Structure 1
Amino acid sequence: MADLLSQSAQIEELLDAYGARNNQQWSRIRSLTATMKLFADVGYELLHIKHSLPLYRLLPIQRDFAADTARSLDLTHDILVRAAGWILTQAARLNLPLSTTPPNPQDYAEHLPPGRLPSDRPVRRVKSTSETVTHLATAYLNLAADSELLYIAGRTEPADYAGCFPKPVSEDSLRYLNFRFHSLQALYDTHVSETEIEYLDADLPILRGHISVIYHLLEIATHLVHYYERHLNIRTGDSSLRRKPVIAPETLLDMLMSYSITYAGLYLDLGRHLCHAMLKCYAEVGTIKAPVPCYRGFHVRPATLVAKIVQHYGSDVHMELSGQNYDASSPLDLFRANEKINAQKRRWLVTEIEHLSRPDGDLSDSQIRTTVLDVLFKLTEQGKLVIYQQPLQLSGEFSHEGILLEKVTAEIARLQATGQIDIKTDLSIAFTGDKRVLSDLKLLAKSGYGEDRFGNNITLPKELAYLRR
């Protein structure tokens, strides 16, 4: 396969140097040569996966990856044989001299001896096991957050595969992911391979296997999508070359989506769960204090962002407010904290209103309304209230039961509940859990939990880019 790849690459370069691609007489043999090169490369990657499977130590899945790899290899073999036959036909048409002696298959037989060389090189030492593993697992999780494309095949019926191009599937998107996973593999080999922690932590070689198999599957996917876009796609392919393709579009899409992208997504997900478990093992527990979100507390946006950070790392983090704990990975649990936050705001409001001068005696609805507005504006001037809506929609009438303080407090609480105003306090919360997660939560809090005091979106730091996906 390597010989075929090398020869076809050299012939393609030669043909391109003389402009064969744009020549009516020579474009067909140039296209077939490119096909040979591409599928020889695909075959080489498939053979690599086939022979490396025992070393990858991949976690089990419900599908037979080895059998599907063998089927893809058989399909690639058929494509190469067909393309080679058509090249011979084109060569004869172009009056190119052909060898009369076919190559001897035994020249390409690989009789490999059994066994492996012993691993007897001295191991390298790293400064901090926890720091190294955390760095690698975090890099994997961040890349996994960028790889939602790999789940598209599982959500698409085979009949609809063609509709996935050029969005969300394209050569550009797959080539980018391929490069990122190759870089992640290099990160592992630089910082973890042949170190003492690789021998001590059995999960690390398993993670390396998942990174590597995803990388090689993406190599295959990139080649296949390139061929589809260049030769088979009705919108982007060369019409003169689509008349007689060496592989049917449906067959290629099935190999691309059902094999390469599907298995890359399955092993990506297993690697994510593995990283979550590793981060839990190496977690350094700490606690940070943070302010309560200034705009309506833990409503949908801040609660969701906090939960996404915790879910991203798969760690156990809880939020503490006034002696009560909340699961920081659950937006619904964080919503419950607003009940306590609003109750504390109302208690603080009563104290503040008591300090302001108010009229005495029985008051009409108009006088109560005036008193409410007077209290609101005084508290706003002192920076203790934020008014979100002008003009305020006050109640049409007020209860004549209870004292004036109760009526004013109830009306201001109603305005807060309807989102017309909010009460500013210095309430704080505490997050306890893995320090790596706490670091991102601290960044989120400094960024206003993704919104300003009026609830408008604000840009998050680049370290939290995974939240935008």
Structure 2
Amino acid sequence: MGNEIIDELCVRDFAVATSEQPLGDDPFRALVRARSRPLLDIACGLTAGALALNGRLSGRLLLEAGQLEELLDEHGAAQNRHWSRLRALVAALRNFARIYQELAHVQRRLPTYRLLPASADFHAATGERLCLVGRVVTDITAALLGEARQLRIDGANRATAPEDFSEQLPTGRLARTLEQRRTTDTTATVTHLATAFLNLAAESEILRSSARVAPLDYARCFPDPVSEERLRQLGFRFHNLQSLYDTHVSGTSIETSDPDLSILRGHASVIHHLLAIATDLAHYYERHLSPETGDPLLRERPVVDGETIMATLFAYAMAFASDFLDGGQRLSQDILRRYADSGHLDVPVPSYRGFHVRPSNLVARIVAHYGSEVQMDLDGKVFDAGSPLDLFRANETINAGKRRWLANEIARVQRGRNGKLEASAIAAAVLDVVQRLAGEGKIILYRQPLELSEEVGRRDGGVLENTIAEIARLQATGQLDIRSDLTVTFIGDKRVLADLDALARSGYGEDGFGNNVVLPQALSYLRR
């Protein structure tokens, strides 16, 4: 009975809280005045120069702005012409306080990341952006105080004492005194981590393409390819990669024995933080400044300069994320080479025209994805599987092997047709042999009817010689191809061989007539 009464009271309270009863400005003003007091006190201190923005203060701004934004949203301030600008300013303050925190975190942790060199001075650029975003936060607090006066919610605000937000942090880090964890399979753990980074790097083209955009074209990147949604999803995936490291590698003997692993973790971490910054900047642009989706009131009286947002988003966050993505990719490939477990893989040659453009490029892209050295052996001849041009050369050997195999089949089919024949009879015999071989599945016809050359019957020899020569011509002109059971052997890292096996099982990306087929999920990085 008691639980039923509690449930009834909860339902009643929820109904009151979510009711759509009209709310007058005066009672709402009194509520906001009381709830905004801590935030406005801090804003007074910042705008008066009594407080210096730091990590601790930005965290408090984030907390207070978040609570006030929630209150304003609960009562529909975003849809009210008197209160919507206040709500937009509070949201902007929360947004840039979070960006400031991310930048401050990156600046503090830079020595521990041990990042590979970038194309520009990342430390200096981070310090510059930290100062710039700090000024943005101060500008927003000044605008917030002005709006509070307009709405008569400022009250008797007092600047918060500086000592309340002092951040005198000791230098250095605590000594590692915990015993190292042990892992059962070092190679599997390391290669799984490096492979995960490579696969994610292959899906991060948005960073590389955005880093190359000229400033005049920044706005044209919204909503495609750049959007808050895409950046947030990518950021989550790098966060997951960092968590993968912390779960399986951090604090283990593997981490101590191979310093490259912690460097790789630093790259995943800094990319995650840069994407968090980019996501907040994209959110602010799309929500407040974009001509298509932005808030009209804030767009008419902007507090934050659009060029500042775009430069920080593209020239800082996206550009450096792209640099560190490339560095992490090279590092992952080097790690995989050192932990390579070599093996052999026997697979059939591509059924449609052998190693022509599509199969050769797909094989080479798989090899390049891992950065490994893989060779392809065909009848004792060795080719570089990472070079499409070298794979093209294999077609000479493949086609020669096909023709040798087919010569025996032609001899079998045309047996009894030897002797002197007229040219027309030889041509008819050649066509009959080709049709019979096609019917047996020994050759594939890409064009019907076949266009035999005028040389048929005029060449030296009889039906056998003319058939072999004519099939070679028809193959060279793309009218047919020879089926065979020829195989090649790939030699190299077993992780690469596993993907090459998946590619071969899917027909090297095409069917027997050269049409595209869907690649398996394991090869999703090839779709980009």
TM-score higher than 0.5 here?
A: yes
Cα distance change of structure 1 residues 365 and 212 upon mapping to structure 2, 3 Å threshold: same
Distance 2:214 2:373 in 1: 36
**Structure 1 spans left out of the alignment, 5+ residues:** none
TM-score by length of 2: 0.87
Distance 1:401 1:447 in 2: 41
Picking from 95, 101, 113, the partner of 1:38 is: 95
SS in 2 for 1:359: coil
Query: 1:306 and 2:363 equivalent?
Result: yes
Distance 2:77 2:119 in 1: 47
Picking from 329, 348, 351, the partner of 1:291 is: 348
Q: Is the Cα–Cα contact under 8 Å of residues 427 and 457 in structure 2 kept in the other structure?
A: no
Counterpart of 1:433 in structure 2 is 492
Q: Is the Cα–Cα contact under 8 Å of residues 360 and 392 in structure 2 kept in the other structure?
A: yes
Counterpart of 1:13 in structure 2 is 70
Picking from 374, 377, 393, the partner of 2:451 is: 393
Deviations 1:404-433 (A, max 9, x none): 222221111111111111111110100000
Picking from 381, 384, 390, the partner of 2:439 is: 381
Q: Is the Cα–Cα contact under 8 Å of residues 372 and 412 in structure 1 kept in the other structure?
A: no
Picking from 209, 218, 222, the partner of 1:152 is: 209
Counterpart of 1:357 in structure 2 is 415
Counterpart of 2:424 in structure 1 is 366
Counterpart of 1:446 in structure 2 is 505
Deviations 1:57-110 (A, max 9, x none): 101123110111111111111111111111111111111143343122232221
Q: CA deviation at 1:154?
A: 3.0
Q: CA deviation at 1:370?
A: 0.7
**Structure 2 spans left out of the alignment, 5+ residues:** 1-57
Q: Is the Cα–Cα contact under 8 Å of residues 365 and 397 in structure 1 kept in the other structure?
A: no
Q: Is the Cα–Cα contact under 8 Å of residues 276 and 314 in structure 1 kept in the other structure?
A: yes
Q: Aligned-residue CA RMSD in angstroms?
A: 1.2
Matching of residues 206-217 of structure 1 within 5 Å: 206-217=263-274
Deviations 1:277-305 (A, max 9, x none): 00000000011111111111101111111
Deviations 1:339-372 (A, max 9, x none): 0000111112222222222534444442222111
Picking from 164, 168, 184, the partner of 1:127 is: 184
Counterpart of 2:3 in structure 1 is none
Distance 1:450 1:62 in 2: 36
Counterpart of 2:11 in structure 1 is none
Counterpart of 1:92 in structure 2 is 149
Structure 1 stretch 405-414 or stretch 390-399: which is displaced more? 390-399
Q: CA deviation at 1:396?
A: 2.9
Counterpart of 1:419 in structure 2 is 478
The alignment covers a number of residue pairs equal to 469
Distance 2:100 2:156 in 1: 25
SS in 2 for 1:180: helix
Picking from 227, 231, 239, the partner of 2:296 is: 239
Matching of residues 5-404 of structure 1 within 5 Å: 5-355=62-412, 356-357=414-415, 359-398=417-456, 400-404=458-462
SS in 1 for 2:100: helix
Q: CA deviation at 1:399?
A: 6.4
SS in 2 for 1:432: strand
Question: Which residue type is aligned with residue 374 of structure 1?
Answer: D
Cα distance change of structure 1 residues 97 and 236 upon mapping to structure 2, 3 Å threshold: closer
Distance 2:397 2:145 in 1: 79
Q: Is the Cα–Cα contact under 8 Å of residues 374 and 384 in structure 2 kept in the other structure?
A: yes
* Structure with bigger gyration radius: 2
Counterpart of 2:47 in structure 1 is none
State the percentage of identical aligned residues: 53
Counterpart of 2:40 in structure 1 is none
